[in-house]
Structure 1
Amino acid sequence: MNNKPSINYLLLIIIPMVFSCYEPVKEDNKKNLPASSPALHVKNKKYMLIDTKASFLTWQGASLNGLINTQTGYIYISNGELMVENGQVKSGTIEVGMNTIEDKNHGSDNKLVNHLKDPDFFDTKRFPFSTIVITGVALVNGEDRKVTGDLTIKGITHAVTFPAKIKVKNGMVTANAQLVIDRTKWDVRYKSAKFYNNLANQTMSDSIKFYIHIIAKKQTPDLR
């Protein structure tokens, strides 16, 4: 396992979009997923199940010390469904297992990753899941969409809007999205200039990016 950069140079920004450059989800990682919440079971025949082995998020973090230094890593989807109607995604739920956080080398048990799981950041013992509930998907152009929804992290929910490219073809949904948030709205305050004075070059950006890659597959024969 490689040595990790100081946590002072991390800014959690849970993000990509050159998803073809990322490695597939490791089977070992799936063992780290806690039991998911039961709220995602839906009987609607137009729902498509998210493939948790092929879907994932990347995160990017940055510190602000005159220059922006970034770190990246992975986090995995534990459960989810998308509702498709007339060949278009209309709504859905994405559930993320917060205890699956990894660094860029897929390290999952080191100083950096364990700090991200602590109360300073995501407090994953108390809040093992984060969710995105998609409430609307508006056509922009071609495969480009504007997605609206509710993001819950650490038990705190705020509305979000973000761009995505979504394709529905042959009973499968492929979606790539970029979500940027102000982490302090979800009580992730570690080394934020909004709450701490005299941080100097240890100040961390309040922005968090999530690059989301989703594959969802047909569940019922009558889905178009």
Structure 2
Amino acid sequence: MKKAILKMTSVFVVLVFILSTNAYANQANKKLKSEKSTVKWLGKKVTGEHSGTIKIKKGHLVFKDDQLEKGTFVVDMTSIVNTDIKDEGYRAKLVGHLKSDDFFGVEKYPEAKFELVKAKKLSDGKYEVHGDVTIKGITKPIRFNVEMKNHGDELHVSGKIVIDRSKFDVRYGSGSFFDNLGDKTIYDDFELHLDLYLQ
């Protein structure tokens, strides 16, 4: 009787090990290489536009059976940089304004977050991504397309995200909140261009 129990227990342990090993083998966790990854931002107004960069401090993607399944990325809002303005004083003034409560209030909200909850494969390496973005403590659903390519042991992710800032209480110069702004209007939509590397 004891031998039978021991035998059944051994079979059970082996079975659990095999199943868990297969499950692990079918899942891959790709971690962001933040030092190599870049995100470029672009904001437009009636009289022109400004651009710059912002850093993603950490993130990962999870694949199951080689299909994108979920992921999380955390953006360092204190890392906002402008790259198109040549005058150092004007450039610093703009960056300071973007970090202020008029825009992203980075002292109170130093991080923004994107959580991928679903991905639809469009073609080889191309996905329609669905998730939730959190800015200034406000979370809204979003969807956008990305393209993924393997370069050796690295995964390169590129894509463009368009975010309506008015949905996150970023009001300054917005025609959604103020009337008669004229040529001082700053458009609600801003763009993020992704150039991410994961391993």
TM-score range, shorter chain: 0.7 to 0.9
Q: Residue 178 of structure 2 aligns to a residue in which SS?
A: coil
**What is the deviation of 1:194?**
1.5
**Which one of the candidate residues 135, 138, 151 is aligned to 1:156?**
138
Percent of aligned positions that are identical: 29
Displacement of 1:135 in angstroms is 0.8
Matched, 1:132 2:114: yes
Task: Supply the AA of the counterpart residue of 1:70.
Answer: E
Unaligned runs of 5+ in 1: 1-43, 218-224
Partner residue of 2:157? Answer: 175
Secondary structure, counterpart of 1:120 in structure 2: coil
TM-score of the superposition, structure 1-length normalised? 0.71
For residue 98 of structure 2, what is the aligned residue in structure 1? 116
Quote the Cα distance in structure 2 between the aligned partners of 1:81 and 1:59. 21
Structure 1 or 2, whichever has the larger Rg, is 2
In the other structure, the counterpart of 2:50 is 71
The aligned counterpart of 1:185 is 167
Cα distance between partner residues in 1 of 2:59 and 2:145? 19
Q: How does 1:194-213 map to 2 (within 5 A)?
A: 194-213=176-195
Shift of 1:167: 2.3
* Higher strand content, 1 or 2: 2
Higher helix share: 2
- Where relative contact order (Cα < 8 A, 6+ residues apart) is larger, the structure is 1
Structure 1 residue corresponding to 2:33, chosen from 19, 39, 51: 51
User: What RMSD, in angstroms, separates the aligned Cα atoms of the two structures?
Assistant: 2.0
Partner of 1:91: 70
What's the offset of the Cα at 1:51? 0.2
| Contact 1:75/1:100, CA 8 A, preserved across alignment | yes
Q: How many residues align?
A: 171
Match of 1:103 in 2: 82
- Identify unmatched segments of 5+ residues in structure 2: 1-23
Tell me the distance in 2 between the aligned counterparts of 1:143 and 1:209: 22
For the residue of structure 2 that corresponds to 1:115, the secondary structure is helix
Partner-residue secondary structure (3-state), 2:94: helix
The normalised TM-score by structure 2 is 0.80
* Shift in Å, 1:105: 5.6
